[in-house]
Amino acid sequence: MLNRTEYINTLRNGLRGLPENEIMDILYDYEEHFEIGISKGKTEEEIAKELGDPGNIAKAYRVSSTISEAENNPSPKNLFKAVLAAMALGIFNLIMVLGPFLVMVGMLIGLYCISISLIIAGISSCFGTIVAPIFPYSINIGVHPITSISFGIGLASLGLLIGIGTFYLTKLLYQGTIKHLRWNIDIITK
């Protein structure tokens, strides 16, 4: 059983790395919990038990701070740090956070690859049609050059549209992942 001083010190140590003003606010809130509990006749040990493990509380605050950082400064690095921080809270998060995240990232990588492939195929079709008469040993597949160029432009356009759509899906994934992490933290800390 922890007393007030031990509880606050454990919480302070667990909050290292957060901004000092944020740490002070959190510690002030927990000091207030102790004051209110003592005024109701509870012992420091009872209050500490009701508040929960200070190590877990500190982890939740650190994860929340990492998620806020990813929300305020969007970047793949910050999102990855937020996902890793959420996974550190337990095996439940490993399944609920990492699994869906990896599936979505894999799908986005696949869509980007499809987009790039279609753009390259379209450009190659146009370029090949234009360059074919220069090479005497080129294979003639019996397609009219305008059809081949039109097909190439269509492929490149489709690839570009898929790329633009995937870019917006990437933004949605980022925002959705942040919301999912917040929801996950809320479930764990309640």
Asked if 15 and 61 count as a contact pair (C-beta separation under 8 A), the reply is: yes
For residue 163, pLDDT over 70 is answered with yes
Asked if 122 and 103 count as a contact pair (C-beta separation under 8 A), the reply is: no
Which tens digits make up the pLDDT trace of 25-43?
Answer: 888 888 898 888 888 888 8
- Mean pLDDT of all residues belonging to the chain: 85
User: Model-level pTM?
Assistant: 0.64
**Residue spans per domain, the chain:** 1-52, 74-189
Asked if 90 and 185 count as a contact pair (C-beta separation under 8 A), the reply is: no
